[in-house]
Amino acid sequence: MSNGATEMLLSACSQFLAAYAPFDRMEPEALRFLAEHVKLAHYPKGARILANEMGVARALYIIHRGQLRVKSSADGTGNAAYASVTLGPGQFFAIGALMAQRPTSSAYVACEDVFCYELPADDFFVLTQKSTVFNLFCTQHIAGLLKQSQQQLQLQFAQRAAEQRTMNSPLAAIVKREPVSVAAEASIRQVVELMADRHLGSMVVVDAGEQPIGIFTLSDVLKRIVLPGTSLEQPISAVMSPAPQTMPLAANAHDAALAMAMHGIRHVLAVDEGGRLKGVVSERDLFKLQGAGLRQIRHAIDAAGSLEVLQHARADVRQLSLTMLAEGVGAQEITQFISTLNDTVTRRIIELNLDRHDLYGIDWAWLSFGSEGRDEQTFSTDQDNGIVYICTDIMDREQTQWRFLEFARDVNADLDTCGFPLCKGNIMASNPDLCLTLEEWEEKFAQWVRTPEPQALLNATIFFDFRPLYGRFNLAHRMRLSLFRQTQGNPLFLRMLAQNALSVSPPLGRIRDFVTGADRDHPGTIDLKKFGVRLFTDAARVFALARQVEATNTAARIKRAGALMNISPDDVAASLDGFNFIQLLRLRHQHFEQEHGRAGDNLIRPDELNEIERRILKEAFRQARKLQARLKLDYQL
């Protein structure tokens, strides 16, 4: 064929493709590459163009002429997940199967004579590298599947949740009336009279630019005015709470609820882009939204005088989390919410035990490790904790540790009573090896870093994700700085830690979608903690230690380290989508197991997932593999 004829065919192909998304936005050189590498194929009426039994997808199909019908598989429960759909010119298929390198789960059958442009798999992946537009489209394709899966999950839980407005509502939709505010110079008398006249439970204090600088509530009247005998002519600035919690109008109700739970407050101030006050959101407003009793839960925990009250609060936390699942709140937000309220329970148990143990005059902190240290607790979690303290020259080392161990044994026992099982590996503060002075913790870390043997690497995965829950938080900060100094001075340790992170591979099969059966007692299952979550947390830990990122949360580590490593925002977002989807499956599975009287585990059966969930799980594991590929590149493994 002459060059002129070839150019005419390429031009015709390019013009056809350029009429449809995403090719209409594709870079000229990438569009030409696509036109040069596709082949036009014909399929007669009734022909099966692509189906599961044909094996791993080998091409991207773009329909040029004719129509075909997509016949979806069952959803894993025996019911058709989706009605069959029809595709026509300009539409294409097999992106998910191509990206995951697996057989398609649907059958594509020609309704009439069909002509398709076919792009071989190797050229497809080259195109994703050549075209930012096409790469982003493929990433968003997976994100679209994730959204569909979340919608299905909401439907599954909708019958369990009361009809209510969603916790995803933006604060702009919750704020119903214009805010009332006063200047810092207003007298206490004026403010209290205004609150009484307007039936307000709080008053915001603003500066000349209408930006909040303080808040005064009815609960402040007794402790800040009546009991101290403060003059009502004093300015409100003398008794207000400074630096109130503010959030943009675009933030949602869940964000506000989380802030209230974390900071122990009852009001969040909604502000516009310029920081100007636009409304006040109270616990009562959120209570109306969620119906799960956030205010009661937090109040019950803070005021609890017995373990029985805390046991009930723990049950309420679980019910609130279920409501959030039903409303489609993301896995990251749910696990963080569970961790935050579990932290509150733990702190209250510590406070109750301090009444019976004399630790006065000693600087110390209660530490959490593992998933609690990462703010990633699910419905099923045991204890992973320790103590760090300062032992001065005038203190008896053995006597001081004995006092802490007695205290820790009582706290660990009470946590167990309240639904946090004792750690089978004895990773608890009542273990003398985990109740140490600051210097002893620093030496323990240094020993693990200097001698990165298998046990030291295992310890790193548990103890390096530490976070203070109670006491002197600065001690944990000093531990973190010491850890950074030690790891920065020993690249061999980081390399071996990366090698350890690569010891577990994503359970992706070459013939079947997934590799199952690693747990011999539960054939056909995948442990989503060991072969799912761990893939992300281990990689994120290495990234964070190598770049001195103080965050312990996996998502925060990937975001912050990713920026320092020049990982594209799209790739970071795709990794987080994969991680959060696996967490979402864990939450759903654990809830189901516990509802049926079984201990919630992490073993899911891929065959019982519907088609969309299987596709996203495959993509999630592929994202984990990309993180591991980065580790291999960074450490030449």
Residues 3-42 pLDDT 10s: 777 888 899 999 999 988 889 889 999 999 999 999 999 9
Q: Please name the amino acid found at residue 294.
A: L
CA distance 419 to 416: 5
Rounded to an integer, the average pLDDT of 259-279 is 88
What tokens does 116 get? 């398709």
Q: What is the pLDDT of residue 296?
A: 67
Q: Which residue has the higher pLDDT, 569 or 478?
A: 478
Residues 179 and 80 in one domain: no
pLDDT exceeds 80 at position 176: no
Coil vs helix vs strand at 156:
helix
What CATH number should be reported for the domain holding residue 261?
3.10.580.10
Q: What is the pLDDT of residue 71?
A: 76
**Burial level of 389, CB count in 10 A (0-12/13-18/19+)?**
buried
Q: Please name the amino acid found at residue 395.
A: M
The closest alpha carbon to 63, from 31, 110, 102, belongs to 110
The closest alpha carbon to 311, from 348, 276, 358, 355, belongs to 348
Quick check: 96 and 145 in contact, CB under 8 A?
Answer: yes
Residues 92 and 177 in one domain: no
Pick from 44-53, 328-337, 374-383: least confident: 328-337
Give residue-wise pLDDT tens across range 316-365. 787 777 777 766 677 888 888 888 888 999 999 999 999 999 898 899 99
Which residue, 130, 155, 182, sits at the end of a domain? 130
Q: How confident is the model at residue 142 (pLDDT cuts 50, 70, 90)?
A: low
Q: Give a yes or no: residue 393 inside a domain.
A: no
pLDDT exceeds 50 at position 81: no
CA 71 vs CA 52, 87, 116, 398, 611: distances in Å? 11, 11, 18, 71, 12
Which residue, 130, 163, 188, sits at the end of a domain? 130
What tokens does 110 get? 């020609």
158 CB neighbour count, 10 Å cutoff:
12
CA distance 4 to 19: 23
Q: What is the pLDDT of residue 159?
A: 44
CA distance 352 to 374: 25
Q: What is the pLDDT of residue 257?
A: 83
Q: Which residue has the higher pLDDT, 393 or 366?
A: 366
Quick check: 262 and 269 in contact, CB under 8 A?
Answer: no
pLDDT exceeds 70 at position 389: yes
Write phi, then psi, for 38 (nearest 5 degrees).
Answer: -80, 155
Q: How confident is the model at residue 164 (pLDDT cuts 50, 70, 90)?
A: very low
What percentage of the chain has pLDDT greater than the value 90? Answer: 48
273: domain range? 171-290
Stated length of the chain: 637
Rounded to an integer, the average pLDDT of 387-403 is 93
User: At a CB cut-off of 8 Å and minimum separation 6, what does 315 contact?
Assistant: none
Structural domains counted in the chain? 2
Radius of gyration of the chain (CA): 29
pLDDT exceeds 60 at position 290: no
Q: Give a yes or no: residue 22 inside a domain.
A: yes
What CATH number should be reported for the domain holding residue 70?
2.60.120.10
Residues 89 and 17 in one domain: yes
Rounded to an integer, the average pLDDT of 238-243 is 92
Quick check: 184 and 269 in contact, CB under 8 A?
Answer: no
Rounded to an integer, the average pLDDT of 608-624 is 84
CA distance 326 to 21: 34
Q: What is the pLDDT of residue 610?
A: 76
Which residue, 67, 101, 130, sits at the end of a domain? 130
Rounded to an integer, the average pLDDT of 577-596 is 85
Segments in 464-568 forming alpha helices (H)? 473-488, 491-501, 534-546, 554-564
Q: What is the pLDDT of residue 405?
A: 97
172 CB neighbour count, 10 Å cutoff:
15
Residues 16 and 114 in one domain: yes
Residues 121 and 202 in one domain: no
Q: What is the pLDDT of residue 145?
A: 61
Rounded to an integer, the average pLDDT of 463-492 is 93
Q: Give a yes or no: residue 238 inside a domain.
A: yes
Q: What is the pLDDT of residue 339?
A: 86
The closest alpha carbon to 88, from 106, 109, 111, 65, belongs to 65
pLDDT exceeds 80 at position 232: yes
Q: What is the pLDDT of residue 80?
A: 34
Q: Give a yes or no: residue 78 inside a domain.
A: yes
Residues 181 and 118 in one domain: no
For the chain, what is the mean pLDDT?
Answer: 86
Instruction: For residue 204, list its beta bridge partners.
Output: 181, 215
Q: Which residue has the higher pLDDT, 1 or 82?
A: 1
Q: Give a yes or no: residue 420 inside a domain.
A: no
What percentage of the chain has pLDDT greater than the value 70? Answer: 90
Q: Give a yes or no: residue 485 inside a domain.
A: no
Q: Give a yes or no: residue 427 inside a domain.
A: no
Residues 102 and 211 in one domain: no
First and final C-alpha spacing in the chain: 48
297 CB neighbour count, 10 Å cutoff:
22
The closest alpha carbon to 437, from 395, 406, 465, belongs to 395
pTM, full prediction: 0.62
Q: What is the pLDDT of residue 184?
A: 92
Residues 277 and 176 in one domain: yes
pLDDT exceeds 90 at position 66: yes
Residues 178 and 115 in one domain: no
204 CB neighbour count, 10 Å cutoff:
23
Instruction: For residue 436, list its beta bridge partners.
Output: 388
Residues 9 and 67 in one domain: yes
Task: Give, as one character, the DSSP assignment of residue 163.
Answer: S
Q: How confident is the model at residue 72 (pLDDT cuts 50, 70, 90)?
A: low
Q: Give a yes or no: residue 267 inside a domain.
A: yes
Give residue-wise pLDDT tens across range 307-326. 988 888 887 787 777 777 76
The closest alpha carbon to 528, from 422, 415, 637, 616, belongs to 616
Q: What is the pLDDT of residue 351?
A: 95
CA distance 479 to 468: 11
Q: For tokens 């005088």, what's the residue?
A: 305
